[in-house]
Chain A
Amino acid sequence: MTANDALIIGIGNEFRRDDSAGLLVAARIEARNLPGVEVLTHHGEGTGLMSLWQGRSLVVVVDAVSSGQDCGTLHVVNTRCEPIPSGWTLFSSHAFGLAEAVELARDLGELPQSLWIVGVEGKDFSHGQELSPAVAHALENAVTKVIELVRPMA
């Protein structure tokens, strides 16, 4: 893998139902073995994310989101143009998570040329592995969206 490869990072907790959406999307993309695309998973601690995307030009982070919209809604944020909306809850227990990492990287001039966040709106973040039907249904749309975003590299 080189710095020119697109990097996809799936974030989540596989045992907190809809929170696993990011991990599942990443796994589906990894299974396609796309040339020029590196797929990683991460638990979402912010400084760790910053070191993963340091020096990369095109990065897509996939995570579960709770913003009050309909379960299964797909959110796409171009962090170069806008911050992560403040009304989002990214289900991380970390004190310094994805939203903080994006803003800190922006201040330090270390934001990748392109850093997209693809969020899957979840509803049930309780213990377990079964997804809400709407989230299960949204996964393939999220996969398609992420691949579309990395296509210039792939």
Chain B
Amino acid sequence: MSNRVIKVDALARVEGEGSLYVRVKDNEIKEVRFGIFEPPRFFEAFLQGRHFMEVPDITARICGICPIAYQMGAIQAMENAFGVEVPRPIRDLRRLIYCGEWIESHALHVYMLHAPDFLGLSDAIQLAKSNRDLVQKALRLKKIGNDLLEAVGGGRAIHPVNMRVGGFFRTPRKAEIRALIPDLEWAIQASHDTIRLVGGFNFPDIEQNYTFVALRHEREYAIHEGRVVSNRGLDIGLPEFLDHFDEEHVKHSNALHGFQKPGKQPYHVGPLARFAINHDKLHPETLSAAKEVGLGAVVRNPFQSIVVRSLEILQVCLDALAIAKNYEEPDSPHTEPVVKASVGYGCTEAPRGLCFHRYEIDDQGLVKTARIMPPTAQNQKIIESDLWKVVAAHLSLPDEDLKWRCEQAIRNYDPCISCATHFLKLTVDRE
């Protein structure tokens, strides 16, 4: 009888702390556990009793990599509760700052965290030794994302302070936004180079028949607004979200595991889901770049997420450039909300996938209940499902190689474990 345990105590190149345990008996996988031991932070509980205006700046603290996702979801939920409509220039600025977050988050993941996997290197430092220009390009790309965040977000890229319910505290001057144009033009070219590079990587031959869930918008590649749509016919407004999706505690993790009802079906959020659901909304230049590297309308190989993520960098650079060229300063930086007891919903596409917010507000504008579903929590079950398939396909590999393949499979999702509840432990048991 052959027993095999593979164990990674500290998975590298993921945001946060977690662990992986795989047990194999007689060449058959018995158990796969993607565990998260980062302690829960109880954001939803301590939002209770807070004034609605405080909420976006509190939720921004959920994540240092994607604060806009948490800020904007909360802001839009409050606006939804109070019936606030924002004018076009405010909407454009919101999309622009979100493009900045996608650029910096995707550039960090594609180059510094994920590309080394495909180049047989241990990390970005090794990558810099073999390809200095590439790493410098990545750093400049990421900085352009940060510059966008700072230009719109009030001088701080990490926890921007300028967004508020109803709009912005201060809207940027036209000249400040126009000044971003030359860098964005460079970023578009750099994105094409990135797509060609990662498109040429070798990918393990693994495909999954995913249920993809993403926002969809009638006019654009959905980032900050839309209906929740799946590739299996679901098409719902935000108030119906919790009728179809929920989360559960599992013994081996501090992160909640999201599932689709009925039953507890895994589903996939993030770049592959967005690409499949909104393929027709991609910019012609992005579509053509996708075709050049051989991608069809749907990508089911999770390892190719690095290519889709790179295409999304191009998409948002193109979007950001168009907004920067056309931006006109709004008459007023914000619309003042009128408080009423209500329930509000907000949902945006964080770099890692759909991020849902629901708040119940009382007539004094205080939060009665809060519910936030981060993308990494929603992807927990699908990550485990991918791992079953990856381990099964690579059982012949020695433990060290199998361990590395599993870590790579987890990095396909750019999991932000800090958001989902932080580091990964991998244990593979071969009995």
Whether A95 touches B14, Cβ cut-off 8 Å, given contacts A47-B139, A51-B139, is yes
Q: Nearest CB to that of B138 among chain A residues?
A: A47
Query: Which one of A50, A93, A107, A126 lies within 8 Å of B422 (CB-CB)?
Result: A93
Bound-state CA distance A62–B143 (Å) is 23
Instruction: Please determine whether A47 and B125 come into contact, CB atoms closer than 8 angstroms.
Output: no
Q: Which A-chain residue is minimally distant from B64 (CB atoms)? A: A43
Q: Which residue of A48, A93, A104 is within 8 Å of B128 (Cβ)?
A: A104
- Beyond A45-B65, A93-B423, is A104–B135 a contact (Cβ under 8 Å)? yes
CB distance from A36 to the nearest CB of B (A): 22
Q: For window 57-107 of chain A, which residues contact chain B by CB distance below 8 Å?
A: 93-96, 100, 103-104, 107
- B142 adjacent to chain A (CB < 8 Å): yes
Q: Mark each residue of chain B from 36 to 47: 1 if its CB lies under 8 Å from any CB of chain A, else 0.
A: 001101000000
Contacting A47 at CB < 8 Å: which of B12, B16, B129, B142?
B142
B82, chain A: closest CB distance, angstroms:
30
Q: Are A96 and B113 in contact (CB under 8 A)?
A: yes
Chain B residue contacts of A42, Cβ below 8 A: 158
What is the chain B residue whose CB lies nearest that of A51? B143
* Residues on A with beta carbons closer than 8 Å to the beta carbon of B132: 107-108
B123 at the interface (CB under 8 A from A): yes
For the complex, is A127 an interface residue (Cβ under 8 Å from B)? yes
Which residues of chain B from 57 to 81 have any CB-CB distance to chain A below 8 Å in the complex? 64-65
Residues of B within 8 A of A95 (CB): 12-15, 112-113
- In the complex, which residue of chain A has the Cβ closest to the Cβ of B14? A95
The verdict on B378 contacting chain A, using a C-beta distance below 8 Å, is no
Instruction: Point out the residues of chain A lying under 8 angstroms from B65, CB to CB.
Output: 45
Q: Which residue of A lies closest to B159 (CB)?
A: A43
Q: How far is the CA of A96 from the CA of B142 in the complex (A)?
A: 13
A104 to B16, CA, bound (A): 21
Partner of A107, one of B17, B39, B125, B142: B125
The smallest C-beta distance from A129 to any residue of chain B, in angstroms, reads 14
* CB neighbours of A96 from chain B (8 A): 13, 108, 112-113, 124
Q: Contact mask A29-67 → B, CB, 8 Å, 1/0?
A: 000000000000011011110110000000000000000
**B265 sits at the interface (CB 8 A):** no
Tally of contact residues, B, Cβ under 8 A: 32
Q: Which residues of chain B from 155 to 209 have a CB within 8 Å of any chain A CB?
A: 157-158
B310 at the interface (CB under 8 A from A): no
Interface size class of A (residues with CB under 8 A): 10 to 19
Cβ 8 A contact of B125, one of A45, A94, A103: A103
Q: Given the complex of chains A and B, what is the CA–CA distance between A45 and B422 in angstroms?
A: 14
B146 contacts which chain A residues (CB < 8 A)?
Answer: 48, 51
| Interchain nearest-CB distance for A100 vs B (Å) | 6
The smallest beta-carbon distance between B42 and chain A, in angstroms, is 9
Q: Out of B12, B135, B158, name the residue touching A43 (CB < 8 Å).
A: B158
In the complex, B332 has a CB within 8 A of chain A:
no
- The verdict on B418 contacting chain A, using a C-beta distance below 8 Å, is yes
User: B77-99 interface mask toward A, CB cutoff 8 Å, 1 = contact, 0 = none?
Assistant: 00000000000000000000000
Contact A108 B136 (CB under 8 A): yes
Contact of B124 among A48, A51, A104, A127 (CB under 8 A): A104
Task: Pick the residue among B12, B157, B422 that contacts A48 (CB under 8 A).
Answer: B157
Could you tell me the distance in whole angstroms from the C-beta of B155 to the nearest C-beta in chain A?
12
A50 near B124 (CB under 8 angstroms)? Answer: no
A107–B128 Cα distance when bound, in Å, is: 7
A-B contact pairs, 13 of them (CB 8 A): A45-B108, A47-B139, A47-B142, A93-B422, A94-B15, A95-B15, A95-B112, A96-B108, A100-B123, A107-B128, A108-B132, A126-B39, A127-B39
Binding site for A on B (CB under 8 A): 12-17, 38-39, 41, 64-65, 108, 112-113, 123-125, 128-129, 132, 135-136, 139, 142-143, 146, 157-158, 417-418, 422-423
- Given A43-B64, A45-B65, A100-B124, 4 more A-B residue pairs with CB atoms under 8 Å apart are A42-B158, A96-B13, A104-B135, A107-B132
